[in-house]
């Protein structure tokens, strides 16, 4: 069971950092561990993965090469401009509601918010909260289907 929870944790952190796959795939661990433990491990992994992305983005966007690229490149100016306007206007609640879309691979949204935002804790909590809601709803759906199919 501990290995299953570790793998779920690593997978959830990976979905925030690099894996463009939906978080609901972490529920594959339900075969070997209780639902509450799988969801808890996945949410913790999602939070730490998102926080590490935000922490890294805060450091990277202050590098002189990145600042120069953001000023010289037309694509860089557009990306930073769109990201800043979106984050300034809507903030962490918008990221939370965006990540509530079932099956949505949220890596891109996390990176956009990380590059444009300056509040890693708020955005990481929004990412983890949306993951918790998505996983809970998917788990309840799986449980409901299994209950309706049971003889």
- Sequence-distant (6+) residues with CB within 8 A of 56 are 114
Residue 9 or 62, more confident = 9
Dihedral angle, C-alpha 22, 76, 59, 120, nearest 10 °:
-50
pLDDT tens-digit readout, 91-107 = 778 778 878 887 777 77
Q: Given pLDDT bands bounded at 50, 70 and 90, which one contains residue 141? A: confident
b/e sequence 4-40, b meaning 16+ C-beta within 10 Å: bbebbbebbbbbbbebeebbbbbbebbeebebebbbb
Contact 127, 46 (CB under 8 A): yes
pLDDT tens-digit readout, 36-63 = 888 899 999 999 998 888 888 877 777 7
């Amino acid at each position: 069971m501990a290995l299953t929870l570790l793998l779920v944790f690593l997978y959830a952190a990976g979905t925030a950092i690099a894996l463009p796959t939906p978080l609901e795939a972490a529920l594959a661990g339900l075969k070997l561990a209780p639902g509450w433990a799988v969801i808890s491990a996945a949410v913790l992994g999602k939070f730490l993965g998102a926080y590490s992305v935000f922490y890294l983005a805060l450091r990277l966007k202050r590098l002189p090469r990145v600042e120069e690229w953001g000023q010289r490149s037309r694509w860089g100016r557009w990306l930073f401009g769109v990201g800043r306007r979106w984050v300034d206007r809507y903030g962490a609640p918008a990221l939370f509601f965006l990540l509530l879309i079932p099956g949505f691979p949220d890596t891109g949204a996390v990176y956009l918010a990380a590059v444009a935002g300056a509040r890693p804790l708020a955005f990481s909590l929004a990412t983890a909260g949306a993951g918790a809601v998505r996983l809970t709803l998917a788990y309840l759906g799986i449980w409901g289907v299994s209950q309706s199919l049971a003889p």
